[in-house]
Amino acid sequence: MENHTYPDYVLLLEGLKVTQDSSYPAFIAFLLIYIFAIMANFGLIVLISLERNLHQPMYFLFCNLHLNDIVGATVVMPRLLLDILTTAPERYITYIDCVIQAFCSHVYATTSHTILMIMAFDRLSIFNPYCDNASLFKLSCESVLINNIYGLTFTVVLFVTSMGSISLTYLLIAIVCLRSKSSTLNSKALITCSTHLLVYLILLGCGFTIIILHRFPAYADLRKLCSVLGSVVPTCVNPIIYGLQTKEIKHMIFTVFHRANVAAS
């Protein structure tokens, strides 16, 4: 192995296993995904902020979701893009930066679950590419029993609360739909709830996969891919689902483009 000298309190990131020939295509692909996620989420935040007709609690909740998606993508993607073009021995990160990234990534995941739970309630009126706690625990030479107990307890409480509240909400919605004889109401409820449930299942599936695969080192590459997808996929899907499929926001987008076309002509 080559000898390398690093400053104190520096950690090496494994990153994604990308060959030299595919490093630039992978960089371009992830860069385009990141740009789309930032522009789509930021654009919807600006649209909701500027249009007074959208100054309602539901759309402010959307703003929180899109702002959280921007934070989540920014925590992971810039560093990942840098590591793709960096050779493995040079993919180092300071301990402080690693702890900050781990904190931000967990805040992003927790906030995403919390916002989706609130949105579900609202609908009842009808070794890793980035730092996280599990990766840091593996580096410790001391006992991390208390940290593991706290982390496991917090994760269980978060997932049980999240899954329980959303399951209860959709059960009540299903009861209302079964009792209702209005096909229009049932169709609207199906469209509205299915998109929300899709985003939640993606977030939940990625979260469970990451937690489970941390226990199986043989599947480290799959875990790293799921870690990236867990931060990237929801941030790209949310603006499409909650932006283009929300009638008021879609109407405002068309209105803004119409105004721009009129002004240009």
pLDDT mean values, one per 10 residues, the chain (265 residues)? 56 76 87 90 86 78 86 88 81 83 85 78 55 61 70 80 84 80 74 76 79 77 76 77 70 74 68
Residue 165 belongs to some domain of the structure: yes
The pLDDT tens digits of the residues spanning 44-53 come to 888 888 887 7
All residues at 6 or more sequence positions from 243 whose CB lies less than 8 Å from its CB, including other chains? 40, 44, 62, 249, 250, 253
Looking at the structure of the chain, the number of domains it has is 1
pLDDT given at position 126: 43
Helix (H, G, I), strand (E, B) or coil at 12: strand
Helix (H, G, I), strand (E, B) or coil at 92: strand
Q: What angle do CA 39, 86, 136 make, to 5 degrees?
A: 85
- The residues with which 10 forms a beta bridge, in sequence order, are 94
Domain span at residue 156? Answer: 145-178
Residue 157 belongs to some domain of the structure: yes
Residues 30, 38: Cα–Cα separation, whole Å: 12
Residue 119 belongs to some domain of the structure: no
* Single-letter residue type at 49: S
What is this structure's pTM?
A: 0.59
Residue 234 belongs to some domain of the structure: no
Answer whether 106's CB lies under 8 Å from 75's CB.
no
230-264: string of b/e by CB count within 10 Å (b at 16+)? bbbbbbbbbbeebbeebeebeebbeeeeeeeeeee
Residue 32 belongs to some domain of the structure: no
